[in-house]
Amino acid sequence: MELANTLSQDGESRGGVLAHLERLETQVSRSRKKMEEPQSAPAVESALGTRIHELKRLRDKLRAEVKQRQASVKASTTNVEPDQTLEITEQEILKRKRENVKAILQAYRFTGISGKLTSRGVCVCISTAFEGNLLDSYFVDLVMQKPLQIHHHSIPVFIPLEEISAKYLQTNIQHFLFTLCEYLNAYSGRKYQADRLQSDSEAFLAGPLQRNSLCNLLSFTYKAEPEGQSFPFCARLLYKDLTTTLPTDVTVTYQGTDALSTTREEQRAAHENLFFTKPLHQVFTSFARKGDKLDMSLVS
Amino acid sequence: MDSQLVEARALEAEITALRRACVEPPAPGEDTSRVRKSFQEIYQADSEGWELSKDLRSHLGHLESELQFLSTLTGISIRHYSKKTEDLTSTEMTEKSIKKVLQRHRLSGNCHMITFQLEFQLLEIQNEESLSSVITDLSIIMEPTEYSELSEFVSRAEERRDLFMFFRSLHFFVEWCEYRKRTFKRFKEKYPEAVHLSEGASSSCMGIRNPSRPGFELVIVWRIQIDEEGKVLPKLDLLTKVPLQALELDKNGVIETAPLSFRTLLGVLGIEATLESLIKSLHTEASN
């Protein structure tokens, strides 16, 4: 509501000069047709011409100021040579500038946060990745009103969006976006690890991988050697901190009824440490690589 | 006549965009209202609406405003971007309808006082079911280099090829730096005699002294660290500078335990309240 009102108010004052000149123009062309008197025409033409001249002067002044400010950073703007008044060349230069700006707008996705302007605000797109693998993107459609509102979004329900927006959306939008980024990237990373474990290391799992939708509680039974070892280990990984991709609590327990031999106990402890420090699917990749013998040098 | 009107309109759009470029970058934290305002400006300037304008100049003006808006929204300004694409699809792959492309991207810009230059490679493999994009190489150059905490962080980000973590942590790091600078400045203005910033407000140290008690000084060292996972955390320490005689008189070991009590106080009162209480305590002690 507020936005629409402001627009109509400002539209009037902004279009004021030009609208006035437009009216003058139509008047002139009409009267010219009737009386063919060219006297008033030059007056209007010169009024418009003067306005353009003034605008050009102001524009050039601002241009110089901006250039000064960007003196330390290489600017990609090209100067229109005063000699080249050919429309065609100007068009080309403008086209190149436009392509350049378009490219930079596209490049924003590599920062993790990009956006597209909409009629009511901006649709922010948050990208996620894990270990260089680009993963899912999520969007948040914001309405630029007082107070700022989320029109709709694709954030999964188990991400604490309400909490984060209550804390930061109205006061510090950058903090809101980057915090959301943190949570989403961590979730994406945990999900990626669990997915990879399920797909790549099926042979090592003695049963299905149990996981929750937030992927911060994982439980599975596994064998470090697919054949041979008869008593599998049972692992439980808890990621209490939702902004991390490594677990905060790890418990590896032994399934069998008889007591663990010393080597098995060492193995169990070593595995626990591995789960704490390495991404889940990588732990299993290292199991596969070492073959039968678990290399104790992994624990360092 | 028509073309003149169009020209006038386009000039006005350009002037609005230029005016925005002349505005100082805002401090992080006061952003939401500024973002809202900047969006309203764009909406008003482009009274044609959001349809693609046939006029090249006004379209360019609109795009530049959008870029400026994104820069305000994220706090990150990208000034240069270029991309090179190399098709690595072999004839074998084409038969199986697999496409393999290597993109080389170059990006440079700044986040407040820190400028960055990135080069990374993106390998895209498209088969019938899915598209996988992997960053296969990442190299980062940052300035200014006096933030020593950043060099370790940069190598870690490069090693992990974690582009998003780089920008995220960069943002939070800058936010903390600006907050530290504002806090130090505020205390200097409030207690000009007691607070001493030997290296200016941008440094990591703030000294508290009492002019009537020379020789005593409390130094707050406020470092901003980035951990293994890219989390940005403040780390504050208290150093005490006390004349030898005072140390001898300190039977209760107050000075010795000061750094530890400082940490406890931080946990209870938070950063600003702790610093203020320290300044006040040194002040009032002397006036007694």
pLDDT tops 70 at residue A6? no
**pLDDT band of A33, cuts 50, 70, 90:** low
CB-CB neighbors (< 8 A) of B133 in chain A: 133-134
Residues A210 and A283 in one domain: yes
What's the domain count of chain A? 2
Tell me B240's DSSP state: E
Rounded Cα gap, residues A22 and B9, in angstroms: 12
Beta bridge partners of B91: none
Domain assignment present for residue A264? The answer is yes
- From A112, which residue of chain B is nearest by alpha-carbon distance? B164
Domain assignment present for residue A231? The answer is yes
Averaged pLDDT, A67-85: 50
Query: What pLDDT does A36 receive?
Result: 54
Residues A100 and A180 in one domain: yes
Domain assignment present for residue A171? The answer is yes
Q: Are A128 and B167 in contact (CB under 8 A)?
A: no
- From B156, which residue of chain A is nearest by alpha-carbon distance? A131
Contact A129 B28 (CB under 8 A): no
Domain assignment present for residue A9? The answer is no
Query: What pLDDT does A34 receive?
Result: 61
For A206, A226, A265, the CA distances from A261, given in Å and listed in that order, are: 21, 19, 6
**pLDDT band of B59, cuts 50, 70, 90:** confident
Domain assignment present for residue A11? The answer is no
Place of tokens 């044609």: B48
**Interface ipTM:** 0.78
Cβ-based burial of A156 (10 A; exposed 0-12, middle 13-18, buried ≥19): middle
Averaged pLDDT, B12-22: 76
Contact A108 B70 (CB under 8 A): yes
Residues A180 and A196 in one domain: no
Residue that is last in its domain, among A154, A187, A220: A187
Half-sphere exposure of B236 (CA within 13 A, CB side): 21
**pLDDT band of B165, cuts 50, 70, 90:** very high
Residues A292 and A193 in one domain: yes
Query: What pLDDT does A46 receive?
Result: 74
Rounded Cα gap, residues B5 and A244, in angstroms: 57
**pLDDT band of B69, cuts 50, 70, 90:** very high
Of A99-103, B146-150, B208-212, B261-265, the one with minimum mean pLDDT is: B146-150
pLDDT tops 60 at residue A68? yes
CB-CB neighbors (< 8 A) of A51 in chain B: 8
pLDDT tops 80 at residue A204? yes
Residues A122 and A182 in one domain: yes
CATH number, residue A137:
3.30.457
Residues A212 and A181 in one domain: no
Query: What pLDDT does A206 receive?
Result: 85
The helix (run of H) or strand (run of E) holding residue A277 is helix A262-277
Query: What pLDDT does B225 receive?
Result: 92
Residue that is last in its domain, among A142, A164, A187: A187
pLDDT tops 60 at residue A76? no
Tell me B74's DSSP state: H
Rounded Cα gap, residues B274 and B266, in angstroms: 6
Query: What pLDDT does B94 receive?
Result: 83
CB-CB neighbors (< 8 A) of A177 in chain B: 73-74
Query: What pLDDT does A95 receive?
Result: 87
Residues A194 and A99 in one domain: no
Q: What are the pLDDT digits (tens) for A241-252?
A: 999 999 999 999
Domain assignment present for residue A133? The answer is yes
Predicted TM-score of the model (pTM): 0.73
- From A119, which residue of chain B is nearest by alpha-carbon distance? B50
Query: What pLDDT does B51 receive?
Result: 44
Query: What pLDDT does A287 receive?
Result: 84
Domain that holds residue A226: 189-298
Residues A112 and A125 in one domain: yes
Nearest-10 crossing angle of helices A87-107, B56-74: 20
Q: What are the pLDDT digits (tens) for A251-293?
A: 999 877 677 778 888 888 999 999 999 999 999 888 888 764 5
Averaged pLDDT, A21-25: 71
Rounded to a whole number, what is the distance in angstroms from the first to the last CA of chain B? 82
Residues A177 and A211 in one domain: no
Residues A179 and A248 in one domain: no
Query: What pLDDT does A8 receive?
Result: 42
Contact B5 A117 (CB under 8 A): no
Residue that is last in its domain, among A187, A221, A236: A187
CB-CB neighbors (< 8 A) of B17 in chain A: none
Domain assignment present for residue A63? The answer is no
To the nearest whole Å, the CA of B108 is away from the closest chain A CA by 10
Residues A183 and A194 in one domain: no
Residue B77, C-beta contacts closer than 8 angstroms, at least 6 positions apart: B25, B71, B109, B110, B111
Query: What pLDDT does A40 receive?
Result: 53
> Which of B169, B145, B80 shows the shortest CA–CA distance to B118?
B80
Averaged pLDDT, B184-192: 92
Domain assignment present for residue A59? The answer is no
